[in-house]
Every structure is written in structure tokens, then in C-alpha cells.
Amino acid sequence: SAVISQKPSRDICQRGTSLTIQCQVDSQVTMMFWYRQQPGQSLTLIATANQGSEATYESGFVIDKFPISRPNLTFSTLTVSNMSPEDSSIYLCNHHRSGINSPLHFGNGTRLTVT
Amino acid sequence: GNSVTQMEGPVTLSEEAFLTINCTYTATGYPSLFWYVQYPGEGLQLLLKATKADDKGSNKGFEATYRKETTSFHLEKGSVQVSDSAVYFCALRRSAGGTSYGKLTFGQGTILTVHP
């Protein structure tokens, strides 16, 4: 399975600023996804990063707040814009390849704290 | 829509005890089912998976069987260790096709603490 590298692994940011998180996969994958895990909570899907087109956002998430890029089949970025303390979470990316038995692995995540 | 329900935690066990964490799901078609584990301060790791009814996923002494008749995927381990202390997430992925393919739906997570 493809290995996912995510960076930064953690960051502490001031409110009102923005942070861009990078997700690199070591081989081409069909789909990449971004999830958020708020403190003590489960994972919630933010959006699907589509190669060559705009990301597809889940209900409750908007492009202005979480702009996503997917310039090729191995890389994606998620930006958390105009941050507030409520954005303090772990942000994780994962990938999927075509094929029903393709497992879904995650990067180690980015632990974001907004002060 | 798809949903996953896990037994509420936290679960506290003594070392070598038997573990069961219940997971039931609601989905159309034939989803794939997964258990993920998150150790303290770490990311999410795939623990085991099953892609069709009656499949049994297993890894590191953990097992779960895909039961379509009861829409369940309960996680079991015969003898837990202190090192198994973590948060366990049950998840499903839609079987194939459509805009939801590849997306994971997670349960709320179950905290497991194992004491020596």
C-alpha cells in the first residue's frame, strides 16, 4: 500500500492566521481525503480532493475556510484559514485506489492548536 | 445514509481479560468494514478489515467477523495487554461506485484502558 507523509506533524498557531498542511503519497492514488478529529471526538470527513478539479466538500465545510489543492495524483494540501480556537484538531489525510480491496491508510496527522 | 454505532466506553480491563467492542452499522449495499486503532498521541492505524459477509479480519490477536444478518462487526481479543490501551474506531466504506466511494464513515470511538 502507498505510504502517506503528512506535514507539519504539529503546530501552534495564533487565531486569525492560516496554516497549510501537506499530504504526500509515495505512489499515484485515485482519491485523497481530508478528515478532522476534534479533541476527544471521532473523525469527520472534510472533503474529497479531486485531481485537476475543485474539491468536493461535505456538509458543514466550505472552500473559503478549508481550501484544498490536488495538483497531481500523489499530493494534496489543506489550508485552515482564519483560524480560531475551535479549529484546534488533528487533521488527517488518507487515500484510496481503485479496487474494492484497497485498504485505506492514514498519514500520522497534523495536530493543530490555535491560541 | 451510512452510519456506524459503537458501544460506549470507556472500557477498562485487567491484563489477560477478554475484550469485546461492539460495532453495528447501517448502510445500503455491501460496505467494507474496518477497525482502526489510535494509540495515545499517535495517528490512526488500520487494525483489520473485512470486505464481504462472513469474512473474518484479524491482526495482532484481534478479530472481527462481518455479520450481514446482524449488521455487526464486533472486535474481539482473547487476552488483552497493557499495550492495547488505545482508542478503537469502527468504520465502513461504501462498496463501490458513486460519489461516496472511498469515503469512510466512523463510529464515535471506544477508549480501552488495560491495567496490569
Interval A93-114: pLDDT, tens: 988 776 655 667 888 899 999 9
- Most B CBs within 10 Å, among A100, A102, A108, to test the B interface: A100
Q: Do A104 and B95 touch (CB under 8 A)?
A: no
What would the pLDDT profile of B10-57 be if each residue is shown by its tens digit? 999 999 999 999 999 999 888 999 999 999 888 889 999 998 899 999
Closest by alpha carbon to B95, among B9, B16, B30? B30
Q: What is the pLDDT of residue A35?
A: 96
Predicted confidence (pLDDT) per residue in B66-89, tens digit? 999 999 999 999 999 999 999 999
Residue B46 has which C-alpha cell? 488500520
Tell me whether residues A42 and B109 touch, CB distance under 8 A: yes
Beta strands in B1-116 (DSSP E): 3-6, 11-14, 19-21, 23-26, 32-38, 44-50, 56-59, 62-65, 75-77, 86-93, 104-106, 110-115
DSSP string across B7-26: --S-EEEETT--EEE-EEEE
**Terminal alpha carbon distance of chain A:** 37
| Optimal mutation site among B103, B108, B110, interface A, most CBs of chain A within 10 A | B103
